[in-house]
Structure 1
Amino acid sequence: MTALLRCLVPLARSGPYGRAVTRVSATYRVAPGAVLTSAPDTAEDLAEVLVHETQHGKLAVLHDLLPLHRAAPEAVHRVAWRADPRPLAGVLQGTYAHLALADLWARAAAGRTGTPSARREARARRDSYLRQVAQALPILLESGELTPAGREFTQGMERHLADLGRLRDPSAAIGGTSPAGDVR
């Protein structure tokens, strides 16, 4: 994070017409290294926002350098983390960000410094993100809209998911039996 995050922009916790919102965060493709966010409730929530939004920035830069998909904006897909259907670009962005969050919480769950309660919460968050990513990867791989580089990138995410699943339960790896790999 220290190598990538250059600017943290505070946002108000109000939405349109002054309505209160629980949490707002964003990144802009034209401003890699900047994260916009309302004040999270806890340090853990701040870590999650920073990891999530930094992943969006990283993937946007990578896609600009090496296109990962030729997705039509009108093609939409259902994902576990949003109520509204997402274009393939949004599925790819969300999958990459949620995989990093699964990794973050897997590390927290495995840590020795947190309380038993904190480690339980980390395991629950990890498992939720693992399920979300496991549900989204087939959408990407079966879409036909990934470039060869995008397919390779997505297969790398699939391998990382399998590794995280093995850490969770060595007898049942989420994401199949792909060989070990890393997408960090």
Structure 2
Amino acid sequence: MKLIKEISHTNSAKAEFFYLRHMNEEKLSFLRKGMFDVLDRLEGNSPARWGSMNAQQMMEHLADFFDVSYEKIIFPLSVPEEHLPKYKAFLWSDKEFRENTKAPANVLGDEPLPLRQASLQAAKDNLKQSVEKFVEWFNNNDSKTSMHPAFGVLNFEEWVLLHHKHVLHHLKQFGMMN
């Protein structure tokens, strides 16, 4: 009987692993292609439902976030380590970021950064490059990790989850998704 339970548990764990892997592949596909299909509808004057970023600032912000994941931009941990298990649980959950969720103060101030790209299209092209650099950086080494200032050290799979939540949050901010 014990052996049957162990086999059953092992099969359950394998099924969960393959389910999570499939879900992450869908999320990664969205980040690499689906997000840009949605962003094609975004215009420079598209109003935000909350927050103070305009459409281009939002795209530049997303690119910066991807740049953090492959260490082009580096921030130290900005939260007490004892909060990390709770934050990681959120990461693996179906919960979404709430409207007006704020980044740690040492990461983003109260005002959006000034525009750095020449146009909305240039910002989108830069975002696409940042996404691909993120994928490439981790593809070269599965054991790589990098620091997120609020979620701590993340591996590729965790970054995909976080990027997916973050992108959906900002697409909803601009009325691009329900």
TM-score, length-normalised on structure 2?
0.24
Bigger radius of gyration among the two? 2
Per residue, is there more strand in 1 or in 2?
Answer: 1
Per residue, is there more helix in 1 or in 2?
Answer: 2
TM-score, length-normalised on structure 1?
0.24
